[in-house]
Structure 1
């Protein structure tokens, strides 16, 4: 247990207040991102990221404008209140009464001006319902302060991730604010527009899934462009291909919605390094840090293998067992068995059905040179019968050419 440092905590808090001073442009971007995300969920389809470009402060959010009925509007109100902690100030009800985009920006700005100590993000919901993850703003900005030194030469941030997610917030809202550099949402830019716009000093914020798309679309990068990658492991071959294509530097961030950033791996480094405010507890394997004078400890979502007290490599997620008919079943094992079939390119396994009647379901991506879906389905059924128990065998199998992913490259349900 580290000694408490009230003076140091006070300095961090003052630093957070100084840094967390979003202007209306920041709030507009975050609110628009939350609204688009909720609207996409309600409509069960993705929406163009530049859809909000046509909104102004008079845009109606209800059925007379964006088309949100009273129930949908109530849901978005709750999410915005949760995100900015409006309930701690007591003005969350104004969101439901005042229904223009500009009024919502003003309500959030008023709340932040009175009290702003925490933000609550959500997980992607790829493994079920999204889970709220609350973070102290002082802790988030302590991380951003470290990144600001790492990217001090940045002249502009180009974001390819939604800014209301924790990764997008840290690198496309808080970091540009601290570096005092412009930021642009480049998700809707065409390859030609992006190719012409890229310039030395640009910092591109993307995920491994998006980095592969960018590499395919652009082919090469001009000198002096830096990239950041997070939310999923970056394949070594993709990193090598990006460097060959001229990307000057690619920095990987290891973390999650629950932890924020934990480690960083810069160009030429074989291991991630813990960010300076984290430390390893060698006996328990937990990670610990001080926030607001109190120590927090957590178990990372992956198995981390440490080379020393600061350098580590993730070695697979801590996937636990699920109960199917009272039997412990490991979805990762089932997926691995299915992947061994010669016609299978990849496989995802999830639980399906009500809690008391849950079984497993599978999404199987087939190799393009295979024998056809109907023939594979028959052969794969026999393959699973020979290798998996009744509780382990998926009762529903969906076939496709690739596993389903969202715009962030996160695997989604089917």
Structure 2
């Protein structure tokens, strides 16, 4: 069975680490609830008092056994980051995930080991640090951001380092040196050209960029950051906007709506040109959160900002997270200034009703903008 029990256990360990990093405890009930959602199970596994008293490693082992017994192995449920809207659950067929992983085997056939710096319970981490090593029959070493300082001494020739732009940038800042034959992989968002060049100058053999989404899995790849992406073999372009996925069963290709806009250079090569800027309904009116953000960034008191719809329990309007300039007055003063400014630039439905202030935009494990809970907030009526 793919993933094997060892792969399931690594996914659970990844879940546990994420709970700890977000200041949640890893009590068995919470961990089991997250695992049930990931594996699409209908009910929580039975957790008794003896399990709660065991060390975390033993709890994970018990939970992995229960999942292996009850999970039909048909699909997994991955959650989007919500960087462009409300986070949502995406059900992914395991058959299609394995299909993609088998394609990736051809790109990394000579690999000796997978070094994973990505959460194994996210689709990118699952494909590259669970399925890929199982199909290649190579070991996996899981690391985290705290291990970056010693990475130069840990890496060996023919290792494949699975990471994402934020950590690749940090590796460059730490002047990591890569042994001969080490390959890098990056995904989850655009990797700046200077970050890739720095890694190559530090000995990285080459950087494989994977372009995809939680909704569709991987779409394309490239081995040279100056070139367009090439469609993976299971994707075909059917017209200027349409994509279809070839199924392993040989059935008719399935159409997909990819969330990025693509500029095509021939039949199989393309360059991403940004996310599709979809409007959302606010008070019965179409509004564009990215437009509201651009207006906020034009104000001299705002260093950075992100705008998104409120969660249902918060309301039905927009909310904004603001990073003010260092010399900004108190948040009470800033909000009054922004209130008058926005009234002259935006329509009432476009104006965020809740403002949260902080030193940096909230991000998830991959360095992508994510939702936030209200801490110090200001409401505009």
TM tier, smaller: 0.7 to 0.9
Secondary structure, counterpart of 2:95 in structure 1: helix
Answer whether contact 1:167 1:230 (CA < 8 A) is retained: yes
In 2, the alpha carbon distance for the partners of 1:363 and 1:356 equals 14
Give the counterpart of 1:109 among 55, 68, 89.
68
Query: Which residue of structure 2 aligns with residue 45 of structure 1?
Result: 23
TM-score w.r.t. length of structure 1: 0.77
Instruction: Tell me which residue corresponds to 1:286.
Output: 242
SS of alignment partner, residue 363 of structure 2: coil
1:133 to 85, 90, 96: 90
Question: Does residue 31 in structure 1 map to residue 12 in structure 2?
Answer: yes
In 1: Cα distance, 2:269 partner to 2:157 partner = 30
SS of residue in 1 equivalent to 2:246? strand
- Unmatched 5+ stretches in structure 1: 1-19, 48-65
2:46 to 84, 88, 96: 96
Name the counterpart of 1:57.
Answer: none
Counterpart Cα distance in 1 of 2:265 and 2:353: 42
- Residue 273 (structure 2) pairs with residue 273 (structure 1): no
Identify if the C-alpha distance between structure 1 residues 125 and 392 changes in structure 2 by more than 3 Å, giving closer, same or farther.
Answer: closer
Residue in 2 aligned with 1:409? 367
Aligned-residue CA RMSD (Å):
2.8
In 1, Cα distance between equivalents of 2:186 and 2:245: 23
Instruction: Give 1:355 deviation, angstroms.
Output: 7.9
Aligned length: 360
Say which SS state the counterpart of residue 348 (structure 2) adopts.
coil
CA contact (8 A) 2:297 2:304 kept: yes
- Partner residue of 1:191 out of 143, 148, 153: 148
Tell whether the 8 Å contact from 2:289 to 2:307 is kept in structure 1 after alignment: yes
Shift of 1:24: 3.3
1:308 to partner: Cα distance:
1.2
Contact 1:305 1:315 in 2 (8 A): yes
Correspondence for 2:160 among 191, 197, 203: 203
Q: What residue number does 1:360 align with?
A: 318
After superposition, residues 73-92 of structure 1 pair within 5 angstroms as 75-76=33-34, 78-79=36-37, 81-82=39-40
Q: 1:397 aligns with which of 342, 345, 355?
A: 355
1:262 is matched with: 219
Distance in 1 separating the partners of 2:83 and 2:20: 15
**SS of residue matched to 1:391:** helix
Q: 1:380 to 1:356 in 2, by over 3 A?
A: closer
* Distance (whole Å) between structure 2 residues aligned to residue 357 and residue 411 of structure 1: 20
Query: Per the alignment, do residues 73 and 400 of structure 1 end up closer, same or farther by CA in structure 2, a change over 3 Å counting?
Result: closer
Kindly provide the CA deviation profile for residues 373-407 of structure 1, in whole angstroms up to 9, marking residues without a partner as x. Answer: 55655544443233222222223323333211122
Q: 1:101 to 1:46 in 2, by over 3 A?
A: closer
- Per-residue CA distance 1:56-91 (angstroms, 9 max, x = gap): xxxxxxxxxx5345xx46734632541xxx56xxxx
Is the contact between residue 34 and residue 80 of structure 1 (CA under 8 Å) also seen in structure 2?
A: no
Aligned to 2:369, the other structure's residue is in SS state coil
Alignment of 1:314-329 (within 5 A): 314-329=272-287
Counterparts of 1:379 and 1:117, CA distance in 2: 54
What SS does the aligned partner of 1:96 have?
coil
Q: Is the 8 A contact 2:85 2:308 kept in 1?
A: no
**391-400 vs 249-258, which deviates more?**
391-400
Please list every run of 5 or more consecutive structure 2 residues that lacks an aligned counterpart in the other structure. Answer: 52-58, 373-381
